[in-house]
């Protein structure tokens, strides 16, 4: 039996897209540690590109720690909005496919400590065969456009073929979660890929709830009431 208030799943995302820097304000979010930093103190991306990738860091140490990830995404991020608009697909979905592809490389280099794994991510259900044909057509066109702007190292994740990216996009579309800030649990700060949390089914009378915790990009599924042995772990997919 599981008492009420027990953390059941604690999972760090395999892929995270922040909403923080999409709105103007006095603060930005560090692309490495995800801490908020005043605009005047933030260090911007040092890459010399015609268009900004929108990455900021709270200090030089964070910039250097994130350099490998940033080198792979810096030239791609400024092109995502055009790909999304041209193919009528969600920009956040494109950013999650990009980030998951990068984390695949980082995982091979053993630089994704305590995260969910690539194996878990690609085992999520996709329901690709049940997906609306119009959406599937659009996402296929978008993935083909996306892989063209990938650097060679990222293209290697997919063997230069966008078909696997389409399946991943379907998996993300079916399973991704929004995540709230750890302080108030009221502000949605991003969208993440949580393969283990995605295994929980919906109930209108759930026995668990998921919420964001520290460190950033981490979700916890916690029991709302006592759960008996053999009872399914459920959450609500909607506000109740």
Quote the CA–CA distance of 171 and 175 in Å, as a whole number.
Answer: 6
pLDDT above 70 for 165: yes
Compute the average pLDDT of residues 70-74: 90
Task: Please report, rounded to a whole number, the percentage of residues in the chain having pLDDT higher than 70.
Answer: 92
Residue 82 has pLDDT above 90, yes or no: yes
For residue 218, pLDDT over 70 is answered with yes
d(CA 118, CA 148): 22
Residue 105: enclosing H or E segment and its boundaries?
A: helix 91-108
Instruction: Tell me the pLDDT tens digit for each residue of 5-48.
Output: 999 999 988 888 887 766 556 788 888 888 888 887 888 886 75
Q: Please state, in angstroms and rounded to a whole number, the distance separating the CA atoms of residues 232 and 100.
A: 29
Q: Is the pLDDT of residue 84 over 70?
A: yes
pLDDT score recorded for residue 190: 82
Q: Which stretch, 56-70, 157-171, 187-201, has highest mean pLDDT? A: 157-171
The mean pLDDT value of the chain amounts to: 88
Res 50: pLDDT: 54
Return the pLDDT at 215: 79
Containing 231, the helix (H) or strand (E) segment is none
Q: Tokens 């792979």 — which residue?
A: 72
What does the pLDDT read at residue 21? 64
Report yes or no: 37 and 30 within 8 Å, Cβ to Cβ.
yes
- The per-residue pLDDT for range 87-131, each reduced to its tens digit, is 999 999 999 999 999 989 988 766 556 678 899 999 999 999 999
User: Long-range contacts of range 158-162, CB-CB < 8 Å, 24 or more positions apart?
Assistant: 158/101
Q: Work out the pLDDT band at 234, boundaries 50, 70, 90.
A: very high
């Amino acid at each position: 039996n599981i008492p009420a208030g027990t953390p059941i799943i604690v999972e760090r995302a395999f892929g995270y897209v922040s909403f923080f820097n999409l709105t103007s304000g006095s603060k930005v979010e560090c692309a490495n540690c995800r801490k908020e930093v005043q605009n005047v103190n933030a260090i911007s991306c040092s890459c010399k590109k015609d268009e900004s990738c929108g990455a900021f860091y709270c200090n030089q140490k964070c910039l250097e720690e994130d350099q490998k990830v940033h080198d792979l995404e810096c030239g791609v991020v400024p092109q995502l909005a055009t790909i999304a608009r041209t193919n009528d697909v969600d920009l956040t979905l494109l950013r999650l496919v990009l980030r998951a592809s990068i984390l695949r490389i980082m995982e091979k280099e053993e630089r994704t400590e305590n995260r969910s794994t690539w194996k878990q991510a690609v085992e999520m259900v996709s329901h690709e065969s049940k997906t609306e044909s119009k959406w599937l057509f659009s996402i296929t066109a978008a993935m083909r456009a996306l892989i063209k702007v990938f650097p060679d190292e990222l293209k290697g994740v997919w063997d230069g073929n966008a078909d696997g990216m389409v399946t991943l996009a379907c998996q993300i579309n079916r399973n991704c979660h929004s995540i709230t800030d750890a302080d108030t649990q009221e502000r949605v700060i991003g969208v993440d890929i949580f393969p283990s949390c995605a295994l929980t089914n919906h109930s209108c009378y759930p026995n668990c709830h998921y919420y964001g915790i520290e460190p950033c990009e981490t979700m916890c599924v916690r029991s709302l009431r006592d759960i008996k042995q053999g009872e399914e772990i459920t959450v609500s997919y909607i506000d109740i």
